[in-house]
Structures are given as structure tokens and as C-alpha cells.
Amino acid sequence: MTWAQQTALGYGLLGFLIVWGIVLAIQVSTQRARYGRVRTRSIVVSGAVTLYACLAVAVVLLPLPGPNTPALEQTVQLVPFQWVADIGTELAKYDQPGSAALFTQTFQQVAMNVLLFVPLGIFAKVLWNQRASRAVLWGFGASLLIELTQITANFGTAPMVYRIFDIDDLMTNTSGALLGWVAAALFLTLRHMAQDVSPEDAVPAQQATVPTPAGRAHQVWPAAPVFAAHDAVPHGGLPALPWHPRR
């Protein structure tokens, strides 16, 4: 990690503490007034998003150029995968073998560009439940906004153009957003699979039933009301049944 990146991260953390202090105070007071308590999950989510936003802005824009900062020899790079050739140039410059490619400053810069947008892909899946295509679109759009900010010297607020508009940055940033979405989707899938396999989902044992012997079916007559039985019996006793002679 270069000195400029360390400085940017330091300013990003400082900005997070300031911004988060304001956001936290507003959020806590609002939740207490609305729900009567503080909702921990929303506090954690807003804190994570605020931290990511502050660090991303700091890494992209800081440090600002000073009065003695030399002008860039190149401000636009439109050759895809130019970073591969730049790694070879850096290895040849310092007389390093090919096995040291992962330790070059060029490769570390590419890795930082990928990792910078991984949280965006994670948020797109976990917090906002977006599809992979939407995460890629967000990553590309955010990266394009960053590159336009750099090529215009922070929309004219900086004294000079101090960052290169690089097509490779668009590719690596977008890839980072997609990588974060895939990682989040895989994690959620594994968690759902683990929740599906639980003791509560076991098939309950069937209750034993007493078998009914086979035989002639019996006709069941509906029960007569109690008062009807009293009305059918005369006052003198039970009624005489008709007699049928035996044949």
C-alpha cells in the first residue's frame, strides 16, 4: 500500500467518525421517538454503508494535489488490460522475475480497484436484494462517475487533473461489484441450506392405528331427539309390537 493510499484511508476514517457521529445521533433520536427503542440492525447497516462511502470517496479523491505536484504526462488510458503490460514494464525496470508480479505496485493497484467495489456488490444483494445485472450496472455507473470526476479535476474544483481516466479501472471496479454480489449470493444460499436441515423438519412418527376387522357393513341411523322418545311411548307403557307368525 502506497503512502497516498494510507493517507486517503486515514482521512476516510476521520471523515467516517465525523459523519457517523451526526448520522448516529439523528438515527437514535428518530428511532426512540418512532419506536420507543433503538433498532440495532438498522444502526449497524447504516454504519457499514457510511463507513464504506467515506473510505471510497477518500481513496478516490485524496490526497489532493499540492502546489508542487507535477502535471501528469498522460490523463486518459483507453487500452484494455494495459495493466498486464505495465506489470511487465515494472518487473523489467527493477530487474525482478515473473514470480514477483503479485508484489508489484501495478498489481496491488488493480487488486485495490477490485476490492474497492466488492462491498457495493454485497450491499446490492444483501441489503437491497438486487439481481447480478443490477449490481454490475451499479458498479459500472459508480466507476464511470469516479473516472469522470478525475478527468475533470473533480469537476473543476481541483487545481489540475491529478488522476488518470483509465478504462481498466472501469473493468476492475465493475468486476469487484460482481464478485461481491456472487460472494453474498453464495453465502445466503449456504445459510438457507443450513436452516432447511434442522431437527424441526424431521418427519414425525405416525400414530399407531387399531385395525378394523373386515365384515358386513353396519348401517348407522341418526339418533332421535330425547323428547321424541317420550312422545312415542304411550302413558300406559310400551306400545305393542306386531306379531308375525313363523313360517
Q: Where are the alpha helices (DSSP H) in the chain?
A: 3-35, 40-61, 82-93, 105-126, 132-151, 153-156, 167-196, 226-232
Note the pLDDT of residue 214: 54
| pTM beyond 0.85 | no
Would you state the pLDDT for residue 151? Answer: 93
pLDDT for the residue 67: 85
Q: What is the pLDDT of residue 5?
A: 79
| Alpha-carbon span 116 to 55, nearest angstrom | 9
pLDDT at 188: 94
> Looking up cell 506489470, which residue turns up?
87
**Hunting for cell 457499514 — which residue is that?**
48
- Whether 72 contacts 162, CB under 8 Å: yes
**CA end-to-end distance (rounded Å), the chain:** 117
Q: How far apart are CA 183 and CA 189, in angstroms?
A: 10
Cis amide bond preceding 63, omega within 30: yes
Q: Across the strands, what pairs with 166?
A: 77
Torsion sign (Cα): 228, 229, 232, 235:
negative
Per-residue confidence (pLDDT) for residue 92, from 0 to 100: 95
- Full pLDDT tens readout for the chain, 247 residues: 678 878 999 999 999 999 999 999 999 999 999 988 999 999 999 999 999 999 999 999 998 888 888 889 899 999 999 999 999 999 999 999 999 999 999 999 999 999 999 999 999 999 999 999 999 999 999 999 999 999 999 999 999 999 999 999 999 999 999 999 999 999 999 998 988 775 555 555 555 455 555 555 555 555 555 444 444 445 445 455 554 554 4
All three cell numbers of 158: 481541483
Sequence-distant (6+) residues with CB within 8 A of 209 are none
